[in-house]
Amino acid sequence: MSHTARLLISCPDARGVVASVTSFIHDRGGNIVDLDQHVDPDSNAFFMRVEVERGTLDIGPGEFDESFAPVRERFLLNARCEWCDRPKRVAIFVSQEDHCLADLLWRFGRGELGGEAGGEVVGVISNHEVCRAQVEAGGLAFHHLPVTPETKAEQERTAMALLGELDVDLVILARYMQVLTPRFVAAYPSRIINIHHSFLPAFAGARPYHRAHERGVKLIGATSHYVTDELDEGPIIAQRTAGVTHRDAVADLVRKGRDLERLVLAEAARVHLDDRVLTLGRRTVVFG
Amino acid sequence: MSHTARLLISCPDARGVVASVTSFIHDRGGNIVDLDQHVDPDSNAFFMRVEVERGTLDIGPGEFDESFAPVRERFLLNARCEWCDRPKRVAIFVSQEDHCLADLLWRFGRGELGGEAGGEVVGVISNHEVCRAQVEAGGLAFHHLPVTPETKAEQERTAMALLGELDVDLVILARYMQVLTPRFVAAYPSRIINIHHSFLPAFAGARPYHRAHERGVKLIGATSHYVTDELDEGPIIAQRTAGVTHRDAVADLVRKGRDLERLVLAEAARVHLDDRVLTLGRRTVVFG
Amino acid sequence: MSHTARLLISCPDARGVVASVTSFIHDRGGNIVDLDQHVDPDSNAFFMRVEVERGTLDIGPGEFDESFAPVRERFLLNARCEWCDRPKRVAIFVSQEDHCLADLLWRFGRGELGGEAGGEVVGVISNHEVCRAQVEAGGLAFHHLPVTPETKAEQERTAMALLGELDVDLVILARYMQVLTPRFVAAYPSRIINIHHSFLPAFAGARPYHRAHERGVKLIGATSHYVTDELDEGPIIAQRTAGVTHRDAVADLVRKGRDLERLVLAEAARVHLDDRVLTLGRRTVVFG
Amino acid sequence: MSHTARLLISCPDARGVVASVTSFIHDRGGNIVDLDQHVDPDSNAFFMRVEVERGTLDIGPGEFDESFAPVRERFLLNARCEWCDRPKRVAIFVSQEDHCLADLLWRFGRGELGGEAGGEVVGVISNHEVCRAQVEAGGLAFHHLPVTPETKAEQERTAMALLGELDVDLVILARYMQVLTPRFVAAYPSRIINIHHSFLPAFAGARPYHRAHERGVKLIGATSHYVTDELDEGPIIAQRTAGVTHRDAVADLVRKGRDLERLVLAEAARVHLDDRVLTLGRRTVVFG
């Protein structure tokens, strides 16, 4: 658990926002540990992330909203404060390919994404049984929700109920091969992260490695993004590519791609858990 | 000018091709300096590049075809021998953006692509006047062929006649913003290299950096490829990407992209001049 | 020329610095366009860069020091304000290899480093004649200061006098193969940028590509850094690497390295001209 | 288990080697699946890797040496044939950091390094107990050989005896923090792979991430290499780097470095198991 709170702000750009917000924090005894801001030149939207030590801050979660209201109203701020008083509760969805799952479990287990880093896996949900053993070996709950065309709607309701019970903050789709319905997506806005195995927007949709091979590209990629109603069209959080040659068959692309997928999904999870991501339409601001 | 000849072969895969071809070379006194081969597992097509010292070879360009005929016929080889007895003659097409042009002229002038490396710029053709000074400063001929919708067909015929007179082996489109007609393309199969300012197949067509920015990608790219009749669909020779962040406006993407374009176009020119590229449909084999 | 001023601050970390500085700016009518800050956890040093629109700022270069004194004294700030009322005056030193020089001249000439971007080349100094033509072709002054062991001391004095006359703000060593004396270095603290053709600290000193090849590394690199009295030990601004294989001879390493050198030197020049670099001992803070 | 045999050859470069070797294979009914060769221009050493389908080959392990003797003697070949009739037997050494171990176990378990790919983990040896559970959970033997200055010599003898019993072909040091003695190293020439957490030759020795941070580098790296008697001086198989910024503390370098280490060690294991690596002094030839 972090000893800091993070204030995330977006608003129409205006003179004096930084000074007003930082003075507000200073006046409440807060020490600014990290501050990053950005103005999008096209939309004139202003974004800021301020990380504040909680130790000397003389207000807490209960008082913040009222206390901050004058600043918020003056600048029409869209603001939220992450108090970090508990780790974010994470559910991982997976189908049969376990490379991202295994990687995430390692990272959460060793403190790279968990503990101080802010996350805790509270359950793994799968439409297959193959990953049960490794999940349970780590002392985590594994929920098998098999999906057929007939049961898909009902199983998604079951999954959503489960997420509600588990009080989940973040859903990670670690190669989960089912498309979520708009209802599910709407319940977790900018809180469902997917990994797609191509450098989007190239090869959106199915079988990207096969199509990349057919097209004869000289690099492959992976993309992590927030899920929206349009398939593979959500705001991109991280992307990577790696070179391939004529010697690489589809199976080599798949193998090389797994390394990219692991890295790119873990990176997205890390910056999300660290409250570093804000969205602007189909784009993201990811503060370093 | 190189002291080697390069034999390029493609054929249906068969037992004994490598042994037969290398024995043929050995029996004619040739010393193999470099050999690379590849079998495409999908099509079962076999590709080979053999580089041979010419010094002790007891046959020359005149005798090769007849001498090699038995091997060629036995394995149904598609074979060509590049004797490298003169530098490849290169024409560069450019419009107004000169970063690729300036880079190529430097590389040809300093021997990175020219001289021993196999190429010689015999002319620069442009639909604008802006690059004339720097081309002529390097002692090269600059041909201004302005294009309007009305004159486009005629100017292309003029350009083709000029290429014929100059006995051009390779055409490099260094940010030439006109689409070539099928007639032009057919005259130089696998001998016209274009640079596209995106990681194809993403953002094929116009204004790729603007579209990349709108989509919110976290990397941009550049692609060099042979030109075919389908726009931005030709066999890819080289690709690179570079990371971008929310701080990068379109102008930054354009700036970062210029570096990628230069590198990727120069790389394609280098491997082509070195006779390292073979095509298989929309894919290329680029021998290292 | 930019329409903004940049305030660069370092100090021991303390509560309230950000609030005080941003309020100071806001109270003088300034609009903060960009703010970035960093606290080094080891030394507890605080760094900040604030970019402010000059249009509505009610103080100018003449009044800043006195006006800002209370904030400066309260937090023991080390502060400087770059008013950007003229482009930074840049001198380029080069020996015989011209790839970095040609690249920089292109970038300054096309506005990537010059004009709005903040720099202007006011002269090129070389201990050889080979680059004269291309420098003068660009309308720039070329100063030939040949160096022998006997004349080295005197020629450096001549060079320093020339830099003084030219009122130079930044010196770029674009593959200048002479070591500068401490006197020269002391005259331009954090204002001389060098390119070294290895990923420092590996292969500091002479012939790095040869030594890289002998060692059998699988990647080569380039490093741009501020020059200090210790050879190749100054604060690093930018570094890049590229993969090499057993097929790459020393000449290939040199060729691939040139691409890295160009990119890494240009990147260092760009962030320096943009006032994005602060130093902390042998390290740099390079604000994105 | 592969259906091919791999013939690995090095010799002084000579006319006719390729033709003689490929004719030899062809005459014994072998179909060449892959051939790669290289001539080192400095030493004039010739290297070749030929992969041959075993199905139609009319000689086997028993007859090869005698049958191939004439070719071997004529060209002074240093030749070995890997018949691939059993997976290579791999022992992994680890201390307390388990990121490379966990990654390797995943890759061997899922067939990326094991099975067809040629390897099989036959035991994990550690001077600590911490990794026992995850090794045994995978059904593998875990051998705890704690080391103190007093017991070091004896424990290494025990380890060597164990490797002998297990008939080990390859030793992977997956962050094993003990230096092996010359006796151990001599027993497994070019068959012990280590991962070093820096881009060698920079930061050889202890605590590379701390030293990288102190030096203020802008990239970190990882290097996999064969172990020789000189610490961190063995032939390099693979290297990678990743960018870092002033925001990255030592802990961030360690975190980012883990990703590099995993990838670089797995890559080395893969090319070694695939018999793609030959050494030439401190350098390696790694056939693509």
Chain A residues within an 8 Å CB radius of B282: 214-216
Chain A residues within an 8 Å CB radius of B285: 246
Q: Which residue of chain A comes nearest to B239, CA vs CA?
A: A218
Residue D1: band (very low, low, confident or very high) from pLDDT cuts 50, 70, 90: very low
pLDDT, position D3: 86
- Vertex B238 angle, CA B234 and B240, to 5°: 120
Task: Say which residue the tokens 């008082």 belong to.
Answer: A63
pLDDT average, residue stretch C42-47: 93
What does the longest C-alpha to C-alpha distance in chain B come to?
63
Which of C98, C247, C259 is closest, CB to CB, to B288? C247
pLDDT, position B2: 67
- How far apart CA C36 and CA C16 sit, in angstroms, is 15
- How far apart CA A94 and CA A126 sit, in angstroms, is 5
* CB contact (8 A) between residue A23 and residue C25: no
pLDDT, position A41: 86
Chain D residues within an 8 Å CB radius of C215: 200-201, 236, 282-283
Which of A202, A236, A288 is closest, CB to CB, to B218? A236
* Contact status of B288 with chain C (Cβ, < 8 Å): yes
* CB contact (8 A) between residue A106 and residue D112: no
For A222, C78, C288, the CA distances from C236, given in Å and listed in that order, are 31, 21, 15
Residue D259 has pLDDT above 50, yes or no: yes
* CB contact (8 A) between residue B18 and residue D36: no
pLDDT, position B114: 79
pLDDT in tens, D98-116: 999 999 999 999 999 977 6
* Contact status of A69 with chain C (Cβ, < 8 Å): no
Beta-carbon contacts of residue A198 (< 8 Å; ≥ 6 apart): A204, A208, A209, A212, A220, A221, A222, A223
Chain C residues within an 8 Å CB radius of B263: 259
Residue C117 has pLDDT above 80, yes or no: no
pLDDT, position A247: 96
Q: Which residue of chain D comes nearest to B288, CA vs CA?
A: D288
Chain A residues within an 8 Å CB radius of D109: none
**Chains contacting A (3+ CB pairs below 8 angstroms):** B, C, D
Which of C25, C33, C39 is closest, CB to CB, to A19? C25
Residue D160 has pLDDT above 60, yes or no: yes
Nearest-CA distance B206 → chain A (Å):
15
Q: Which two tokens stand for residue D165?
A: 């019993």
* Contact status of B218 with chain C (Cβ, < 8 Å): no
The one catalytic residue in B98, B103, B232, B248 is B232
- How far apart CA C14 and CA C23 sit, in angstroms, is 16
Nearest-CA distance D77 → chain C (Å):
20
Residue C28 has pLDDT above 50, yes or no: yes
Residue C41: band (very low, low, confident or very high) from pLDDT cuts 50, 70, 90: confident
- How far apart CA D10 and CA C280 sit, in angstroms, is 51
Which of A245, A247, A288 is closest, CB to CB, to D245? A288
| Residues of B (117-176) whose Cβ lies below 8 Å from C | 137
* Contact status of A283 with chain D (Cβ, < 8 Å): no
Chain A residues within an 8 Å CB radius of B46: none
Average pLDDT, chain B: 95
* CB contact (8 A) between residue C16 and residue A26: yes
Nearest-CA distance D208 → chain A (Å):
20
Nearest-CA distance D272 → chain C (Å):
15
* Contact status of D247 with chain A (Cβ, < 8 Å): yes
Q: Which residue of chain B comes nearest to C102, CA vs CA?
A: B106
pLDDT, position D116: 67
pLDDT in tens, B53-77: 988 999 999 999 999 999 999 999 9
Which of A110, A255, A263 is closest, CB to CB, to D259? A263
The percent helix, strand, coil of chain C (3-state, each to 5) is 35, 30, 35
Which of A238, A241, A246 is closest, CB to CB, to B241? A241
Q: Which residue of chain C comes nearest to B103, CA vs CA?
A: C103
Which of C199, C249, C281 is closest, CB to CB, to D202? C199
Amino acid at B247: R
Chain B residues within an 8 Å CB radius of A283: 214-216, 246
The one catalytic residue in D98, D169, D232, D248 is D232
Q: Which residue of chain D comes nearest to C225, CA vs CA?
A: D217
Give pLDDT < 70 ranges for chain A.
1-2, 116-117
For D169, D205, D255, the CA distances from D184, given in Å and listed in that order, are 13, 19, 31
pLDDT, position A114: 79
DSSP C114: B
* CB contact (8 A) between residue C106 and residue B112: no
* Contact status of D110 with chain A (Cβ, < 8 Å): yes
**Chains contacting D (3+ CB pairs below 8 angstroms):** A, B, C
* CB contact (8 A) between residue A221 and residue B241: yes
* CB contact (8 A) between residue C219 and residue D200: no
Nearest-CA distance D282 → chain A (Å):
26
Chain B residues within an 8 Å CB radius of C259: 263
pLDDT average, residue stretch C69-88: 95
Nearest-CA distance C19 → chain A (Å):
5
Chain D residues within an 8 Å CB radius of B22: 18-19, 22-23
* DSSP helix/strand/coil, A102: helix
pLDDT in tens, B122-138: 999 999 999 999 999 99
Q: Which of C36, C51, C110 to mutate to test the interface with B (most CBs of B within 10 A)?
A: C110
Catalytic residues of A: 232
- How far apart CA A153 and CA A147 sit, in angstroms, is 9
| Residues of D (30-59) whose Cβ lies below 8 Å from C | 38, 40-42
- How far apart CA C220 and CA C222 sit, in angstroms, is 7
pLDDT average, residue stretch D247-251: 96
pLDDT in tens, D38-51: 999 889 999 999 99
pLDDT, position D2: 67
pTM of the model: 0.97
* Residue B271, phi then psi, degrees to nearest 5: -70, -30
Task: Say which residue the tokens 């590519």 belong to.
Answer: A241
Q: Which residue of chain D comes nearest to B13, CA vs CA?
A: D33
CA nearest neighbour of A237 among B212, B217, D221, C42? B217
Which of D20, D32, D288 is closest, CB to CB, to B18? D32
Nearest-CA distance B122 → chain A (Å):
30
Beta-carbon contacts of residue B139 (< 8 Å; ≥ 6 apart): none
Lowest mean pLDDT among B40-49, B191-200, D111-120, D232-241: D111-120
Beta-carbon contacts of residue D206 (< 8 Å; ≥ 6 apart): none
Which of C22, C35, C288 is closest, CB to CB, to A288? C288
pLDDT, position B248: 96
Partners of C93 in the beta sheet? C125, C173
Q: Would you say B256 and B106 are in contact if contact means Cβ atoms under 8 Å apart?
A: no
Amino acid at C169: D
- How far apart CA A63 and CA B73 sit, in angstroms, is 87
Residue B1 has pLDDT above 60, yes or no: no
Q: Which two tokens stand for residue B254?
A: 């354009």
Chain D residues within an 8 Å CB radius of C245: 286, 288
* Contact status of C247 with chain B (Cβ, < 8 Å): yes
* Contact status of D25 with chain B (Cβ, < 8 Å): yes
